[in-house]
Structure 1
Amino acid sequence: MAFGGTFGRGLFGRDAEVKALAELVDGPSDRAGVLITGEPGVGKSALVAQAVGAASVAGLRVLTVTGVEAEQNFPYAGLHQLLYPVRSGVDALPGPQRDALKVALGQADGEQPGVYLVGLAALTLLADHAVDERPVLVVAEDVHWLDRASVDVLAFVARRVEAEPVVVIATLRARERSPIQGAGLSTLDVGGLPDDVAAQLLDAAEPCLTPAVRARVLKYAAGNPLALEELPSSVDVPDPLLPLSERLEHAFSARVDGLPVATRTALLVAALNQSDSVAEALAATRLIAGVRAEDALHPAVDAGLIEIASGAVVFRHPLMRSAVAAAAEPTDRRRAHLALAEILTGQPDRRAWNQASAVVGIDETVSEQLDQAAERARRRGGVVAAIAALGQAARLSERQDRRATRLIRAAELAVEAGRRDLAERLVHEAQALDLTPRQRATAAWLLSGFDDGVREDVTRVPELGDLAESVAADGHADAAVRILWGAAMRCFWVEPGPAARRALLTVADRLLPAEDDPRKVAVAAYLAPFERGTVVLDGLRKLAGSGESDPEVNRYLGSAALQVGAFDLAARFSAAAVPGFRAQGRLGVLPRALAVQAWSRTRCGDLVTAVPVAAEAAQLAKETGQPFMYGLAKAVQAEIAALRGDHDQAKDLADEAERVGLAAGARPVLATVQLTRGIAALSEGRFDDAYADLSRILDPADPAYQLALRAYCLAELTEAAVRAGRTDDMRGVLREMEPLAVVTPSPALRIGLRYARALLASSDDAEELFTQALRADLVGWPAERGRVHLAFGEWLRRQRRVAESRTHLRTARETFDALGMTAWGERARNELRSAGESSPNRDPDAHDKLTPHELNIAQLAAEGLTNREIGQRLYLSHRTVGTHLHRIFPKLGVSSRADLARTLRAHGDESAR
């Protein structure tokens, strides 16, 4: 990214920092930007000003936003400030993005937009304005005071601009936490000036200080540039035991004390206002002072405390703003808030917050106004702002029942937003009240929603069934089913035991009597994957032909299909859920659907599809703070690597997934890890290790045990057992599994059993059993068909039927080569060689040449999607997509999308054979 231009000089002692920003603004860089951190007054804003000046000279378009503490409770207030100069481009955005951004910014009414859809809209808008001749510099100062919705969007953008002519510079106060810290920005920590430089700065600012005062200021300023400039103006240096920020606030407030009364009033109003409007500050001041106030702010300008530009009040430093508010008497602050509320008749949200700030004690009228403000914020996608409004409304509520209701609603939103800290505080606050039994149960259940109860005491799972029935009895059927679904999900991640499963299933039968209800199908699959397998599979097959379009329903059905071993249906349903979640910007549930799709596709052998899907699932799960889904996606990536013969990568990925799985107690993650290790050991000829690794999945005492998944690795376990000389042990396993096949038509279970029977059969029975296995319906299961051909060919060669063996071995080799299952392909080659037939080397295909991310983009481009459409699907700007395609074409030796489609289609045709 070339920005060109020059970078200014002139800051005392900041050569290294200036150089770092110069490299970002002046020269080519593949970095998203920089996060400048440091104490208040250390010079973060001065460095930003240098960067902005240089960027302007270089021809960059600069968009800025500055966080203001008073605006934290107003969703997307910061984003509105940032994008206001380019608002004309909003109408040109793709429809869903345009509508989401307009709702978020309060320019239109509509459904609550997801923060990620708003983020994609902002990214597209910035990319559209970042033409080659005029790149964009996004500057976000005091990010710790930006509203959470705007910070989330800013972090989303920062994570995705590495290939854009867009760069982000943000500032954050030291020791503050913010989502921007995980957005891929490099960090520039700005500390105090060295002693000699601090002395130079002080002498330049205050050359006439006495030696004693000079020494005292140098000592107490501790190298802080703002302190070096401000402390000398105080009559006395404040108490050195105070934190530096408080010393500075004292210095600022001392300068305010000498101003006229009207000026102090106007400054206080401006400091407390959620806007920088001069007109609002003066109008409120007139109400308080009862006099003309047009000139009230001028003395503050003359004193260098504020600036007035374009109708806005700009405090010289954020600490000045907080100092003015902190130094005021409580009665003066209340009067200022009431005056602001009175003039804000057309802005109900700001009016409500100002009225709330003026309340002493409780006030149900104001509480109700905040309640309404919370609903407006929620509809705009400002969930954290809605939580804050509900929390404040609860504290102002006259009645305990209303207070409890508001706290629990706020906690529910906090869970939805992934804010565990907020949710815990709100739940604990609610639990201190006199709650109804249902409220108390709901409060106790809420916190487990962060991770599907993975970390929850497993003995509490049956309690959710009781809670669901209680909620249903109170007339809240939908809420009851959601609780029941949460209980069923826990039975995937943890193992509560057969009694708990039966109890929950009884509740499900009462709450969801219709067997074809998608929710009943999904719940039954999780609770009783074998006992209810026939009913579940019948329901899934009917629903597969119904054209269901609700992504949430399709996600439930995909998860249900995985439980009962219908991996082809699991992949189909979860793939159907993905577009809807993308369109809605629901990145919280999107990685769940992607993980199920990747897991199922991998088990079916469709690695070409699984590779990019698993990679995206891992990326989004990490981004949205879902460690157990991240672990599952990483485990799938490990399994793919093992199937491709990349054992080093498989080991690294499996180890990473295992760390996550063990920390969370997530059984499916650990089961997939053990499956990966078993596959790798098999292909390396470590058969005893393979059998030991795979056996763990079947051991109820092992953390890798998972009730449903244990039945779907019989093929690998049987191969390991036969080669390790453990056939008797394996026959014992089959005796346990055979009864399950009687009660359920699970495709994966029956495929595995047919394969295992053939491998363990005597010489007299093996041929017929292999033939039966090949006659079974394996459409959509190419890896399993290849596995049977390979094993049959190996058996025929051992029976000295060499010519017959070659046909099966050749088919196996071609199948595994097409699927990218390198380890299995090499095994088929070795067997063919022993059968007297050589094999051509496998040519690398797109699967080998491209990264998972590139493969995803290439596949979408081959389907005919435009760059903009691909960007909408993958939450990238169209420019980033174009950059990736420019890299993809030469890797594959193609020069057009038509060539790309032909190349990928040819590989896909091979995979399907």
Structure 2
Amino acid sequence: MAGRRAALESLENSLTQLQATGTPRVVLVTGDPGVGKTALLGEFADTARSRDAVVATGRAGASLGTSLGAFADAFDEQRELVRTVLADWPRERRERMTRILRGEHARHDVTAAGGQPARRVVHELVEALARPSLVLILDDLHLADPDSLELLAGLLRRPPRARFLAVLGYRDRQVPERLRTAVHGRSERIALDHLPLAPLSEQDVGLLLADATALRRRELYRRSGGNPGYLRMLLTERSPEARAGILDELVPLAPPVRRTVQAAAIIGCEFDTELLTRLLEEPENAVLAALGELVHRDIVRPVAAGHHFVFRHPVVHRAVYDAGDLAWRVEMHARAEEALRTRGASAIERAPHVEQCIRFAESEGVDLLCTAARSVAATEPARAAAWFRTALRVLPRGAGLAVPRARLQTELARALADRGRLHEARELVHEALRVLPREPAAEHAEAVVLAATVQRMLGAREETEVMLRRELDGLSQQDEVVAAALKCQLAAGQLYTACHDGSAARWTEEALGVARRTDRRALQASCLGLLALIEAAECGGRAGNGRLAEAARILDGMLDDELAGSLDAALWIGWSEILGCAWEDALRHFRKAVDFATRTGHLLYLPHLLVGQSYALLARGELAEAQITAEHAVHLTADAECLEGVINARAMQALVDVARGRTDRALEAAVAATVHPRHSASNWKEAMALRILAEARLASGDHEGCLAVVSEAGGPDLPTADAGSRPVWYEMLTRAELSAERYARAAHWAARAASVDPAGAMAELARAQVLVHTDPGQACGPAERAVAGLESSGRVLDALRARIVLGVALWHQDRFDDAARELKAAGAALDQCGAVLSARTARQERRRLAARAPRTRGPIGGSEILPALTSRERQIADLVGEGLTNRLIARRLHIAEKTVEMHLSRVFAKLGVSNRAAVAAVITREPPGWATPRPA
């Protein structure tokens, strides 16, 4: 009942009014096919039964060809009660009612004297059944036989003297004139309600698809139009059960009309009468008459003035097409292909028919399919792959066709790679490379570039570089364009190694020169994006701006056909902008590329683009959208074909979950991103995944586990991390050491941050956090500089974390009002973002500030408030102050719940209190870092 609660309540209200007043009522439930009328009426029937009403439900289409079928089906549900009522009737009336219920009555029983005989006995039956009330539900009345509609009209003109509610369901586009007349001609005694059912909202569809990712839900909502019937078919469109409802609509059609709609399905979802007439080889008037019947039944709809029609929805077209006999379909496709060829139609128009009727070794058909596939490869890789596959299947394996087959395999492999089918693409292109001659060099090298792209995604980096170098060495100086593409691939591969010898930049510069001389925009965009990313990764995002601006201009001017070959460029440009903190530019470019890839089905780079988009959204504080995007990236990499995609998507999901306070889920995702065999991170993206694992461990209370990740990242120098990420690493490690109350080690990591980025905001934040614990009077300056730097660079979440530190620093300087303002503003902003962990920290600091207890300055470690608590006892007391239960404290600290109880009993004794609330009150008066508890 998602999205139908209001409609159900309206029906229930009609029943309430009937039972309260006794006034007969009619409710019209209307809507398009599949919109949910039957489901709603079924739910209401159950509700009415629970309220002691007698319920009779019937469907007009349940007994096709039977007169009074709707009423016969309805009263059959109450056969025992009807039999009891009829037992007391005179024989003649009982037999007449029995004939009506069986559909065996004579025509004059219904029509004579204005329908009096049938109406009279049905009146009597309704009055007998309506004790205390009768709910008569008649569904699918657009299919009702004339006798049923005539009888309904009689009941409504002279309603029974009974508590009687008629609920009439039908498709408003197909309402028969007799039904319309029956409703409008009803007695004034009958109250009328109309309940039109609209398609579900996107939110309602989301409730029905709770297990799908948000982007998948959006796509299904768009394709279904919010119609639950179409939605169900989209989810299971190949199953017979999904098609059954639509095929039922074909049953009452006359054979010529059914043949017409099945022939129309051969042409496509949209068709014209001229081509349909040629397929059927029938007069146009007969075809138009059949189409009129189909329009009346809302199976097809006119789309323009003239002779153009469309099936009411693609799932209807698919169901009708699949229902056709195979041999007949092949024959009709052959006719359609002949008709379209005579018309002079394009290869794209003819290919769907050739695909279905092509014969083995039919060279003309193979050429046409390949031409059509190449025409749509940029924007419809799935169609291209299907046509290439069919062409390859019918192309013989003779010795003279080995090279043409290899070329076709390469084209199919490219289309499959675009669809994310990496293993299959790799097998095909490797098989092709064993056959393709070295000359022409461009053809062979393009296959090598494709193989390199696929292998890199699969994680085979070393063999990919060897293959590219060997191909490059075999080229002559005249093949500079091909060489440029190979060099660009080599440089891209260097991004995924720990090599920093400058070869990647050199190769890319050489390729860029060729791209500019030959005016190849896609190659220019790729080279410029690569150069910008290489420089940004090595220089912390402060270099490559000129290259980046030029690359962005090219990308912004690309149409779909160009963008199809430049999704890698969009990826490199977007990450360059992220490293340079140009968040809005990064989001604009990622969104453009994601929209294109989603719309066209280019899945090769889509998960990576989604990860970049999610990262930018997270930094901007848009956590809900960041989570939606990250979850869809994880969904797309679920088959684990692309190792790099799995690492990136899982790591991004973990980072968002950390920010949203879902620490268990974050840890699970972070582990999944880093479980692949390795001795240490080999590139900056793997290093990022490790940093996120460390962050997840720290968020779950495991500071030692966080610190242990450093060795996997190559040691304290973090050799594989990009320059911009190193200060972020060191700030995180500073927090980890502070959690363990190792202030000297924390200061060491803060100094590391300052050494790699002396004036950086993250280094200032690390230093401020150390000073809050060791020299609170000096913490304000670094905290203020951290806030200013992070805000100016657009890092919203980090800036808000810095504001919490600033608030605590102001507190230590006795600037309580300023501190309260900072903490309140930061907490409110973090709550709005959905950053649960940081928002909790802000609230905790505000509670401490709110206590406003007098403080006596003293040496660090000389707290007069909590002199006796051990480190573990102080941890548990702090968590009690945050409102955590013993079970949650045990999970946070990875200890037994009994251990928590033991420590808490000691805290009660040492503080001289008897309950948790008193512990919280004492703790909130103690400044953070003011006391250094003695070791446990």
TM-score (norm 2): 0.48
Please tell me whether Structure 1 or Structure 2 has the larger radius of gyration of its CA atoms.
Answer: 2
Q: Which has the higher contact order (CA 8 A, sep 6+)?
A: 1
